[in-house]
Copies of this chain bind each other. A is one copy, B any other.
Amino acid sequence: MKPTIYNVASKAGVSIATVSKVLNKTGRISEGTRRRVVEVMEEMGYQPSVIASALTGKSTFTIGMLIPDLANPFFAEVARSAEDRGHELGFNLVMCSTDNDPAKEVDYISLLKQKSVDGIILSTVTTNHSTVKDILKLNIPVALIARDMPTLAVDTVIVDDFIGGYLAAEHLIELGHRRIAVIAEDMNVMSSSERVRGYRSALEENGLEYDDALVKESDFTIQGGKLKSGELLDSIHSPTAIFACNDLLAIGAIQAARERGMQLPRDLSVVGFDNTILASIVEPPLTTVAQPMRDMGRHVIDLLIQEIRGLKNQKQRIILVPELVVRGSTSKRVHTGNQ
């Protein structure tokens, strides 16, 4: 049987209150008894029960993390980093993949509540903010990662998606491209629409016309990217460059081009977003807008834990700046004379 505080107390010849005090370093206990109690604890291999402690109103030292998909390289990386930072600070993470399904989100949150997690990290796409509001209403600490809800007072860590989109488009424009398509994820999600807005802004600043026909929406899979890119490439005025709103979509674009016998980057330039491990591995290596995934994971945890500890009155929004990583999937536009 696992030893309890009672076992330790009786073996050390003190009361459980004393043991509790040495455990939490609260109250005053003489150095002598402290040492003896510690000794006994080690002897017995005593480990306090977080469960029991939590029941008296203390922390559970666990955080719930809701992300679309743990197997997605971007989120896996962010999660790993968050896990590391949490561990440093004594917190464990419960991972919940929602597939962007509101029902799953609600379900997971309900479970996490029942388990009295100390806080929740959220990367949700719900258009209505009810999920987040519900959590806030319950007064449980939340932090958003990679997803913005500017109208809500909630800790947030994101990348400046507008700038990201801008950088991508600007890079392509500088390379001489004029027909630049974009494959977006769900445009109802801010991070996605912001990227497109940045793209559009770069276009306009450079005197290029924004063309709706060049903007496609897709789910966030390679397949989706391939499909939509295919449509673009098969259209009358096919683009000479594609800005895909994440690396997966960009890889889909590359595959679609390949299937059509195109040479990259000669016949088509492709820019991705995220800079996941995939970007460095595809052929050609993907030019992409890098999100600092490790930093992001670290920051959310720090924000959330500050919140949990009540060290903060003010909500904070950390907006990181993305960086363009130029690799081999983009190059100067080749003038074919057909436009």
User: Which residues 268-296 of A have a CB within 8 angstroms of B?
Assistant: 277-278, 281-283
- A70 — nearest CB in chain B belongs to which residue? B80
User: Which residues 245-275 of A have a CB within 8 angstroms of B?
Assistant: 251
Task: Answer whether A93 and B92 are a contact pair too, CB < 8 Å, given A50-B115, A51-B60.
Answer: no
Q: How many copies does the complex hold?
A: 2
Instruction: Identify which of A48, A138, A278 gathers the most chain B CB atoms within 10 Å of its CB.
Output: A278
User: Which residues 144-167 of A have a CB within 8 angstroms of B?
Assistant: none
Contacts of A278 in B (CB 8 A): 277-278, 281
Q: Which of B69, B95, B282 contacts A93 (CB 8 A)?
A: B95
A55 interface residue (CB < 8 Å to B):
yes
A170 interface residue (CB < 8 Å to B):
no
Asked if A114 contacts B71 (CB within 8 A), the reply is no
Task: Answer whether A114 and B50 are a contact pair too, CB < 8 Å, given A80-B69, A283-B282.
Answer: yes
A76 interface residue (CB < 8 Å to B):
yes
- A279 — nearest CB in chain B belongs to which residue? B281
Q: Which of B73, B84, B114 contacts A48 (CB 8 A)?
A: B114
A182 interface residue (CB < 8 Å to B):
no
- A113 — nearest CB in chain B belongs to which residue? B47
Contacts of A283 in B (CB 8 A): 282-283
Contacts of A334 in B (CB 8 A): none
A232 interface residue (CB < 8 Å to B):
no
Contacts of A93 in B (CB 8 A): 94-95
Task: Answer whether A71 and B62 are a contact pair too, CB < 8 Å, given A48-B114, A83-B96, A278-B278.
Answer: no
CB distance from A277 to the nearest CB of B (A): 7
Q: Which of B54, B87, B97, B108 contacts A51 (CB 8 A)?
A: B54
Instruction: Identify which of A48, A83, A112 gathers the most chain B CB atoms within 10 Å of its CB.
Output: A83
- Taken together as a complex, chains A and B put the C-alpha atoms of A84 and B107 apart, in Å, by 13
Contacts of A115 in B (CB 8 A): 50-51, 60-62, 92
Interface 0/1 of A53-65, CB less than 8 Å to B: 0110000111000
A320 interface residue (CB < 8 Å to B):
no
Extra pairs beyond A47-B113, A62-B94, A281-B281 (15, CB < 8 Å): A48-B114, A51-B51, A51-B55, A51-B115, A51-B116, A61-B115, A70-B79, A70-B80, A71-B73, A71-B80, A73-B277, A92-B111, A93-B94, A281-B282, A283-B283
